[in-house]
Structure 1
C-alpha cells in the first residue's frame, strides 16, 4: 500500500475503492498488470458501508420485532417482543459493517503485491492528464468506479430543513416518534418498513406510487401490505414545499388538486442516487455522460475517451453491487486488451428486501410491449402456492411475461415472503431462453416457494386450482 503517487507509469489506474473498484483492480492484477487503486473517503464503497450490509442487518433486526404480531396467524402460539435499545441495534450493525470492510476490502490489499492503494482525490487536468490531489499521475488506462451518493429532490425549501438520507438514517441511534419518507422506490420501501417495525409512525410519500418501476400488480399489492403494518402511504401527488415546523418538518403536497400538509419529527429522502462525477472534471477528458447523468459506456465498458473505462453505479445503470463487480471485471479486461466480452443484463436479478420480498428478472409486461413483443402473461396469487398455505402467509403474487409467438420467457416477477431465494431459477430460465411450457414441465420440490414459478408457468394454459397436490 502507498500513501502517495509512486514513480513510473501504472498499467491501470482505478478511481474508486468500492466493490467495482476492487473488482477492476483485482481482475487487472491477476492478469499481471501494475495497478493503482485510488480511494477517496472510506474504503469499501456504498454497499458495505452505507447500503446493502447495514440496511439488511437492520431489516433482519426489525423482522424479529415484527415476529410477535406475525405469529398470531398460528392458533395456540403467542410470542412477545420489544425493543430495549435501538442504539445497541445500530451499534451491532456498525460492528458488522466495520468487520466486513476489513475482511472484504482493506485486509485484501496486502495479498496483491502489484496493487498500490493511494488515498487522494482524482481529477483530469485541462490537457486531459490524470491528477491525484493536484499531482500528475501516470497511467496507461483508467477505470472510473466512483459510485453514487443520495440524490436530493428539487422540492422548494429542501435546503432549509434538516433531513436524513439513506446514509444518515442508518446511523441514527435515537428513533424519532414519526418519520416522513419521500420516495417509494426500493430504498424508500426498505427503510420505511425498518423504522415502522421499530415503532416509528411512518408516512411514505411518492408521486408515482410504491415501486413505480415494478409490475403494477406487485406495487399495488405491496402498498396494501405496508398499509396493513401501519405505514401511511400518500401517492399520486405533486410537491409544493417543505419547511421547518414546531414538531419537526412539514411537507405540503397537492393531492387531487387540493393542498395537504404532512407533519413529522424527521424527514428521510429516498429519491434515488446521483453519480459521483463532479470533482473528476470529466469535460477535460472528453468523457460523455448518458441521459441519467452517469458516464456513458458501451458493452465493453468503454467511455467516449479511448483510454477511460467506467463501471458500477457511476454509470447510472443497474445500480446493484453484483452488477458493479461484473461490469468492473469487463472494464478491467477490456482496458488490458484481454477480451471483448460484452456486458449483458438480460438475466439480471433484482431484489427489494421488503416483507414480502420483491424479486424480478427480465422485462416487465410494459417493457416487453415497448420492445415490440407480442406478450402473454400469467398471474398467480400465493393462495395457490402450497408453501404459502402451510406457512399461513399468502401475501404475494407471481407474474410471468412470455413471448406470445413462441412461449419464450421474457420476465419473471415475484412478490413473496421468500421471493428473493426463488428468482435465480427464473433468471437461469431466461438466460437459457426457456419457454414457459419447459418451465412448467420441470420438476420442482414440493412445499417450496420456488414451486410457485412452476405453478405460474402452468397458469398460462390451465387452472392450477384444479390440480391435486404435486400434480403436474
Structure 2
C-alpha cells in the first residue's frame, strides 16, 4: 500500500493523500472479511473500507443476538410445558425483561468483540474507516477527502432495512430488527409487520417472553415456505401464538403520545384498530448502494440502480468489480455471504481470469419452535419438473418426537421418479436445523433416495423420521 501526496493546480498547496491498492473492498462484514483474506492470500495489496461500525451484521443485529433472544424465549416455553412430563413448578415463570435484554446485549457485544479483535489485528495500511463514494471507475473518495485508487473493487456493503413511508409518522415507535437488540427492557406490546423469517422468529420470541404480539401479513405467505401443505402445517402451529392476521391491508397509522395506533382490514372487510408500544417493520431489506454514487462509473446498472452482475462469478458485467454477500440481493444468509466473499476475493485477485466456483447446496432455517427449514430451494425449485414423488412424515406419529412432547409438524422430501434423485425438502417440526443439514449434505453429494436409505438410522431418533419420508417417496416410484 502506498500513499501519494498530490500537488494542487497552483503547485503550492497539497491535497489529501492518495491511497493506492490492488483491491478495494467496500464493506467489512461477513462477505468483506473473507474477501480481504483471499486478497492477502494472493499476495496483493488490499484496502478494507468500512463506513460504519465494525463487527458484521450477523454479530451485531442478525444471527447471534436474535438467537440469544430466541433462547431466552425457549427456556420459558420449556418451563410452561414441564407439566406434561409430570413436573410441577411452583407457578408460572416470571420474565425479567431487563435481565433478558441485559444478557442479549452482553453476549452480543462479546460476539462483536471477536470480530473487532480480528479487525484491530490488521495492519493499519490495510484499513480505511470512513464512508466512500465513487468519483469514477476505480477511484473512490472518502468522507475525509482522501482518494482511493484501486485496480479492482469488491462491493460487500450489505443491506439496510426497508421502512415504508406509511410508518414514518410513528417516529421512534417504528423500529426494525436492528433496533431490538439495544433495548434495555421488553415493551408491553409489539405489532410485527410481515411474516417472513425475521417476523416469525422475533414475533414468536417476544410473545413467549410475555409481550403482547400481533403479526400482520399482506398475503398468505409464511416464513417463505412454498409447499402448500407444509406452509399450512406451520401456520396452524405458530399462528395462534403470533396472533397472525393474513391478507391484512394496513389502512391507518398514527401516533398518539407514546403509542402507535394502527388500523387494518382483511379482504376489504371492516377496519380493526389496535394500539402498540412499538411497530416492528420486517418489510425486507435493500442493497446498501445509494451512497456509493454508482452512476459516476461505467458499471451497467439495472432499473433500480444496481449493478448487473453474473451470479456465477459475482463479476459486474465487463468490469473489474465484484459483488459479495447480501448486497447481491440473493440470499441474506451468513454462510452464503462468506462463500460469496471468498469467491469474489479469488476472482478479483485472478482478474481477468474469473471463474465460476462450485456452490454449496442451498438450505435455510427458521429458528421458530417448531423449527422450519428448506433444502435445495424447496418446493419452489420443482416448478417445471416432471414426475416428482413427495415423501411425507407426519411428526405427530414419530416415536422420538412423542417421547419429547415435540411431536408436531410435517416433513416433505422431493424425489425425481426417473432416476430416484433426491431434490430437496421443506419441513416444520422438531430439530429442523439438524434435519436440514443431513438433507443438504445428501443433495450436494447428488445422492439418490435408495442411496440415502442405505445409510444407518439409529433408533429411537428424530432422524428416523427422515427415513419414513424417504421410504414414502421410494414406494411412490416403485408403484
Q: TM-score, normalised by structure 1?
A: 0.90
Q: Distance in 2 between matches of 1:35 and 1:398?
A: 46
String of CA shifts for 1:391-410, please: whole Å, max 9, x gaps: 12112111111223222111
Q: 1:248 aligns with which of 259, 283, 289?
A: 259
Q: Within the alignment, does 1:342 sit opposite 2:342 as a pair?
A: no
Give the structure 1 partner of residue 274 of structure 2.
Answer: 263
Q: 1:286 aligns with which of 273, 279, 298?
A: 298
String of CA shifts for 1:297-352, please: whole Å, max 9, x gaps: 21111013512111000111111011001011000000010874425556112111
Q: 1:297 aligns with which of 295, 305, 309?
A: 309
Shift of 1:77: 4.6
What secondary structure does 1:438 align onto? helix
Shift of 1:240: 2.5
Give the structure 2 partner of residue 47 of structure 1.
Answer: 58
Note if contact 2:138-2:152 (Cα within 8 Å) is conserved in structure 1: no
Moved more, 245-254 or 198-207: 245-254
Change (3 A) 1:404 1:140: same
Q: Distance in 2 between matches of 1:180 and 1:21?
A: 34
Give the structure 1 partner of residue 93 of structure 2.
Answer: 82
Give the structure 1 partner of residue 142 of structure 2.
Answer: 132
Note if contact 1:29-1:115 (Cα within 8 Å) is conserved in structure 2: no
Q: Distance in 1 between matches of 2:148 and 2:332?
A: 29
Stretches of structure 2 lacking an aligned partner (at least 5 in a row): 5-15
String of CA shifts for 1:213-270, please: whole Å, max 9, x gaps: 4422232222222234x32110023332322246722322231221322413221101
Q: Distance in 1 between matches of 2:21 and 2:257?
A: 57
Q: Within the alignment, does 1:328 sit opposite 2:338 as a pair?
A: no
Q: Within the alignment, does 1:72 sit opposite 2:86 as a pair?
A: no
Q: Distance in 2 between matches of 1:343 and 1:87?
A: 47
What secondary structure does 2:31 align onto? helix
Number of equivalenced pairs: 459
The equivalences for 1:90-101 within 5 A come to 90-101=101-112
Q: Distance in 1 between matches of 2:138 and 2:45?
A: 21
Shift of 1:434: 1.3
Q: Within the alignment, does 1:312 sit opposite 2:325 as a pair?
A: yes
What secondary structure does 2:126 align onto? strand
What secondary structure does 1:433 align onto? coil
Q: 1:225 aligns with which of 237, 255, 266?
A: 237
RMSD over aligned Cα, in angstroms? 2.7
Q: Distance in 2 between matches of 1:290 and 1:434?
A: 38
String of CA shifts for 1:176-231, please: whole Å, max 9, x gaps: 22211000000000010111011011111101232244422232222222234x32
Q: Distance in 1 between matches of 2:440 and 2:125?
A: 35
Q: Within the alignment, does 1:120 sit opposite 2:130 as a pair?
A: yes
Note if contact 1:16-1:144 (Cα within 8 Å) is conserved in structure 2: yes
Shift of 1:294: 5.2
Q: Distance in 2 between matches of 1:290 and 1:407?
A: 40
Give the structure 2 partner of residue 361 of structure 1.
Answer: 375
Give the structure 2 partner of residue 108 of structure 1.
Answer: 118
String of CA shifts for 1:359-404, please: whole Å, max 9, x gaps: 211133343124x443221221112422202212112111111223
String of CA shifts for 1:1-39, please: whole Å, max 9, x gaps: 999997552111110011111111012112222111101
Q: Distance in 1 between matches of 2:230 and 2:37?
A: 39
Give the structure 1 partner of residue 202 of structure 2.
Answer: 191
Change (3 A) 1:460 1:37: same
Give the structure 1 partner of residue 36 of structure 2.
Answer: 25
Q: 2:450 aligns with which of 437, 444, 454?
A: 437
Note if contact 1:286-1:304 (Cα within 8 Å) is conserved in structure 2: no
What secondary structure does 1:137 align onto? strand
Q: Distance in 1 between matches of 2:359 and 2:303?
A: 18
Q: TM-score, normalised by structure 2?
A: 0.88
Shift of 1:425: 1.1
Shift of 1:81: 5.6
Q: Distance in 1 between matches of 2:54 and 2:76?
A: 32
Shift of 1:291: 7.8
Shift of 1:57: 0.6
Note if contact 1:440-1:455 (Cα within 8 Å) is conserved in structure 2: no
